[in-house]
Amino acid sequence: MNTYLIFWILGFGTLWAGLKLFNDEVILIVTMLVGSGLVLAGLIAAPDGLQIVVEVALVIVLFRICMECISRGDRS
């Protein structure tokens, strides 16, 4: 198995788990940073053809996460 796939499984798994398991904003942000770092490590090791597809997907996921944090924030 290629090492980039292992990093991607761990990274996207961390991103998914962070959204589903944690309600605290600080822990959510930390898990998103860790997941993004793992995906980035996989991206560095990936073949050139896959890098662009993964970069676009990661930007979409991180945008959704930012919107989730904004919607959970205190609006008083």
Q: What is the pLDDT of residues 10-41, one digit of tens each?
A: 999 999 998 898 888 888 889 999 999 998 89
Give per-residue pLDDT as tens, 47-56.
Answer: 888 888 877 8
pLDDT of residue 76: 59
pLDDT of residue 13: 94
**Amino acid sitting at position 58:** L
Judged against a pLDDT cut of 80, whether residue 58 lies above it is answered with: no
Select the more confidently predicted residue: 70 or 15.
15
**Amino acid sitting at position 12:** F
Write b or e for each residue in 6-41: b if 16 or more Cβ atoms lie within 10 A of its Cβ, otherwise e.
ebbebbbebbeebbeeeeeeeebeebbeebbebbeb
Q: Is the dihedral of CA 5, 33, 22, 68 positive or negative?
A: negative
Judged against a pLDDT cut of 70, whether residue 75 lies above it is answered with: no
